[in-house]
Amino acid sequence: MTRAARHARIVELIREREVRSQTELAELLAAEGVQVTQATLSRDLEELGAVKVRGGDGPAVYMIPEDGNPPLRPAEQAPARLVRLLHELLTSVDASGNLAVLRTPPGAAQYLASALDRSGLSEIVGTIAGDDTIFVVTREEVGGAALAEKLASWAAQHGHAAPASSGMRTEIREGSTS
């Protein structure tokens, strides 16, 4: 079986049923006569953009998005991973128009931006990350301040409110020019 055919079959299997592990997926493929190593299967899943998503009460299952982008979580849930990352990495937040500007320690911006992109927050169009700064573009012309407030609030709620000495600065100035 060619790589492309194997990828197509993996996509079909994951969309047809709830696949909980690579082992389970390998067994499904083997039942169809397709032998694949765990390393190859892991690469295939990565190339296909497959991610494990936990449903409401059920176990985590693999999902592959229809459009090739990673699946997004429902916006009403504050993703626990995002809240934890905001608490650990967000050092300040500012806003201007439809932008929320987030600051992180050096080297952490792209990691946090990726988590934001995958969060499923409907108000986020996308992110641009440098070394320690993230521009988050919102859908609404003046949505930057509301998003900045939401993210700052999530950063403070992980386990307990961030201590005042944490260095977290919240500067939300709608329409600022600086």
Give per-residue pLDDT as tens, 144-160: 999 999 999 999 885 43
C-alpha distances in Å from residue 74, one per residue of 78, 79, 146, 169: 9, 9, 19, 28
Phi–psi pair at 99, nearest 5 degrees: -115, 140
CB distance 25 to 41 below 8 Å = yes
80-157 CATH choice from 3.90.1310.10, 3.30.1360.40, 3.40.50.300, 3.40.225.10: 3.30.1360.40
More confident site: 83 or 103: 103
- The stretches of 17-132 forming alpha helices (DSSP H) are 22-31, 38-48, 80-89, 109-117
Closest of 86, 12, 23, 81 to residue 53, by C-alpha: 81
- Start-end of CATH 1.10.10.10 domains in the chain: 3-63
Cα–Cα distance, 171 to 24 (Å, whole number) = 48
The domain at 3-63 falls in which architecture? Answer: Orthogonal Bundle (1.10)
What does the alpha-carbon distance between residue 137 and residue 116 come to, in Å, rounded to a whole number? 11
Per mean pLDDT, which of 11-15, 20-24, 52-56 is the most reliable? 20-24
* 49, 65 Cβ separation under 8 angstroms: yes
CA 125, CA 137: separation in Å to the nearest integer?
5
Mean per-residue pLDDT, 54-75: 61
What's the confidence (pLDDT) of residue 178?
A: 39
- Inform me whether the pLDDT recorded for 76 exceeds 50: no
Cβ neighbours for 118, distance < 8 A, ≥ 6 positions apart: 51, 70, 72, 73
pTM over 0.85: no
Q: Within the chain, which residue ranges are assigned CATH 3.30.1360.40?
A: 80-157
**Per-residue pLDDT, 133:** 97
Tokens representing 117 are: 């992109």
Cβ atoms within 10 Å of 40's Cβ, excluding its own: 13
**How are the residues of the chain apportioned to helix, strand and coil, as percentages rounded to the nearest 5?**
40, 20, 40
Average pLDDT over residues 69-86: 63
**Phi/psi of residue 45, each to 5°?**
-60, -40
